[in-house]
Amino acid sequence: MTELPSDNAIDTPTDGAEGAGGAPERSRHFIEQLIDEHIAQGRWGTAGDPTVVKTRFPPEPNGFLHVGHAKSIWLNFSLAEQYGGSCNLRFDDTNPLKEDDLFVRSIVNDVRWLGFRWDGCDETGADPLAGVKFASDYFRRMHDWAIELIEKGLAYVDEQSSEDVRKQRGTLTEPGQASPFRDRKPEESRERFEAMVRGDVPDGGAVLRAKIDMASPNMNLRDPVMYRVLNAPHHRTGSDWHVYPMYDWAHGLEDSIEGVTNSICTLEFEAHRPLYDWFIDAINRGRSDPEKIHHPQQTEFARLSLSYTHMSKRYMRQLVEEGRVSGWDDPRMVTVAGMRRRGVTPEALRAMCAEGGATKFNALVDFGRLENAVRDDLNKRAPRRMCVIRPLKVTITNWGEYGDAGRVEMMTAVNNPEDEGAGTREVPFGGTLYIERDDFMEDAPKKFFRLKPGGEVRLRYGYWITCHEVVKDGAGEVVELKCTYDPQTKGGDAPPADAEGNVRKVKGTLHWVEASTAAPVEVRLFDRLYTAERPGKATGDHLDDLNPDSLEIVEGALLEPNWRTTEVERSSGTGAFADGIERFQFERQGYFCVDPDSKDGLLVFNRTVTLKDSWAKAAKGEGGR
């Protein structure tokens, strides 16, 4: 067996090799180095043929995928693609008590949404389960191999209670104790195992254990359980089986059956690798070379851990069941479904995973890296629109002096400054507008460059306006600003120089909407679910670190009327999102997407991410969030 590099090197430069344009190629991580070595040796077939590489993503269908799974999906599928090989999507459905077709469908959808296609999949999506594999497809072969190990004296049926088995396992400093059933005759163990298979044994009445070494320093090798009795119906096989394989027994056999070359797991399975190898070697013991089953290479990498999140299924389930979030697809959750609903793009998730690569060392990744990946992607592709989230009325008092007081002029706005081909759109401008309430301050400090009494600002794509009167209600709250506009500044351009050659300048540029045409919308301002980098670390309870401001729902926001993505934009790549989710940059606000809760008469937008990382600023002591 080829060993991992002894220094656990993560990235090794490619000896001065250059990529396109003369730029140095990305250094290769340790899994690529290992695969390169196997290919050169011809371990899986013809030496030098990279297309023999086969990987797999093997989720258990007992929950929803989260961002940590996305890293594993990316690694397995991207490696297969990189080498011209293939990757299987296989469900490890070996526990009928927790699994459901609902999760199968959800996971299949998530993998497709992330942009990956497994071996044998239907590219059109018409048959979503085409090519999908299941551990339950191999139950009969696993059973037959278990019989083979019993007959070889390498497995036995133990009829002790689970508590007795646990007590006899020993500790890290003390060897385990042999079961009184350890040396029973193979014929007797086979008879008892078949009774388990028939359903003649109650749940917990017996287990099949591998006969390895009760004194092994590796606890996983102390006669691990291979099968347990579960008299429960399975979501695919019904009541055909009354015994179900344990993960360690099933995992390597599934890989072997499918011809997987590289079984890539997270680091917690590193201590399980000797057992992975032992089971396959035990089956092959005494067989001639042509009769031996395929032996894949298990390799481990560090899972993805993001700050300000918790990826424990138990904790996420608690949040859902206690109503602290709206469901598994709540946009604050780090489930794939939640991130999709929030507007995170699959391209951004893949970019974040690729940036981190594959390592052998656990590390906490700053959540800001995911947010920055989203910003980088949406900055290039999101159409720009204007939305006033907390409206403040502005009346242009001299609007009627230069034409019909009720007229609405159309202003030309750029759809995406990052994409010239995205074109422009028309935005209505009239005598009554709304600006953002935060863009006005009555008693403004010197460096406040937005609107203030006597101050002048540019309305983006519109005109320059000057505030000359502030209207308040009975409680003293500002409810309206009366302003004049300069008709020479249409489009936001500076006015001509005066007789002395002086040109007026403004420092503030505001977004706005025209009152009579703006669309009322609900805006959901999402933020990080937790306030601590490691939720629960300080007190032991992750709920203590929940962010009370993780969601603010703002009703009465106003959006420009021509907000829909145009065909011109989509044909150029702006707003052309393969998942059909409509995403936008609300200028000066952040990136937003249309939520499924939207209905006729009320649009709902979710904030995906702010334009800038306010958390990093707060962490540096540069002001509050």
Q: Within a domain: residue 205?
A: yes
Regarding whether 471 and 355 lie in a shared domain, the answer is no
To the query of whether residue 32 is one of the catalytic residues in this protein, the response is no
Indicate left, alpha or beta for 170 from its phi (over 0: left) and psi (-120 to 50: alpha).
left
Residue type, 185: K
Pairing of strands 243-245, 225-229: antiparallel
Structure tokens at 543: 């709920």
Question: Are 432 and 355 contained in the same domain?
Answer: no
Domain of 525, CATH number, reads 1.10.1160.10
pTM flag (> 0.85): yes
Per the model's pLDDT, the better-predicted residue between 623 and 247 turns out to be 247
Mean pLDDT of 551-577: 95
CA distance 519 to 353: 38
Q: Looking at residue 7, what is its pLDDT? A: 32
Q: Say which of 26, 105, 185, 313 is annotated catalytic.
A: 313
Same domain for 511 and 539?
no
**Boundary residue ending a domain (189, 213, 244):** 244
Where does the pLDDT of residue 616 fall: very low under 50, low under 70, confident under 90, or very high at 90 and above? low
Residue 38: inside a domain? no
Domain match, 508 and 610 both: no
Name 202's Cβ contacts closer than 8 Å, sequence gap at least 6. Answer: 229, 231
Is 1 among the domain residues? Answer: no
Confirm if 365 and 305 have CB atoms less than 8 A apart: yes
For 454, list phi and psi in degrees, rounded to 5.
80, -5
Residue type, 352: M
Q: Which of 217, 244, 271 is the last residue of a domain?
A: 244
- In this structure, the answer to whether residues 398 and 502 fall within a common structural domain is yes
In a domain, 342, yes or no: yes
Residue 185's region, left for phi above 0, alpha for psi from -120 to 50, else beta, is: beta
Amino acid at 116: F
The answer to whether position 318 is within a domain reads yes
- Could you report the per-residue pLDDT of 429-482, keeping only the tens digit for each? 999 999 999 999 999 998 999 999 999 999 999 999 999 999 999 999 999 999
Q: How many domains does the chain have?
A: 3
Active-site pick, 60, 159, 194, 270: 60
Domain region containing 524: 309-381+520-559+595-625
Task: Give per-residue burial for 519-549: e unless 16+ CB within 10 Å, then b.
Answer: bebbbbbbbbbbbbeebbeeeeebeebbeee
Find the mean pLDDT for residues 180-187: 98
Does residue 322 carry a catalytic annotation? Answer: no
In this structure, the answer to whether residues 393 and 507 fall within a common structural domain is yes
Q: Cα separation of 400 and 374, whole Å?
A: 44
Query: CA 290 to CA 403: how far, in whole Å?
Result: 92
Residue 434 phi, psi dihedral angles, 5° rounding: -130, 135
Q: Please tell me the predicted confidence (pLDDT) of residue 2.
A: 32
Are residue 456 and residue 361 in the same domain, yes or no?
A: no
Per the document, the length of the chain is 625
Cα 351 from Cα 349, distance rounded (Å): 5
CA distances from residue 410 to 462, 554, 565 in whole angstroms, order as listed: 9, 28, 18
Catalytic residue selected from 141, 152, 182, 303: 303
Domain of 149, CATH number, reads: 3.90.800.10
Does the pLDDT of residue 33 top 50, yes or no? yes
pLDDT tens per residue across span 105-131: 999 999 999 999 999 999 998 999 999
Final residue belonging to a domain, choices 190, 225, 244 = 244
Helix H or strand E encompassing 133: strand 133-134
* Number of C-beta neighbours around residue 381 at 10 A: 21
CA 379 – CA 574 distance, rounded (Å):
10
Q: Are residues 235 and 362 in the same domain?
A: no
pLDDT: which is higher, 604 or 505: 604
Percent of the chain at pLDDT above 70?
94
Residue identified by tokens 């995205």 is 422
Residue 10: the pLDDT is 34
Q: Do residues 413 and 363 share a domain?
A: no
- Residue 500 included in any domain: yes
CB proximity list for 493: less than 8 A, separation 6 or greater: none
Tell me what percent of the chain is helix, strand and coil, each rounded to the nearest 5. 30, 25, 45
What's the rounded Cα separation, in Å, for the pair 90 and 58? 5
Q: Does 80 map to a domain?
A: no
Per-residue pLDDT, 621: 52
Angstrom CA distances, 229 to 142, 169, 193, 380, 409, stand at: 15, 20, 10, 55, 76
424/500 same-domain check: yes
Q: Say whether both 367 and 393 belong to one domain.
A: no
User: What does the pLDDT look like over 211-239, one tens digit per residue?
Assistant: 999 999 999 999 999 999 999 999 999 99
Does residue 60 carry a catalytic annotation? Answer: yes
Residue 213 located in a structural domain: yes
Q: Is 227 found in the same domain as 174?
A: yes
Q: How confident is the model at residue 501 (pLDDT cuts 50, 70, 90)?
A: confident
CATH of the domain at 486: 2.40.240.10
Distance in angstroms (rounded) separating the CA atoms of residues 545 and 527: 14
Cβ pair 88, 54 in contact under 8 A: yes
Question: What is the Cα gyration radius of the chain?
Answer: 31
Bridge partner list, 365: 306
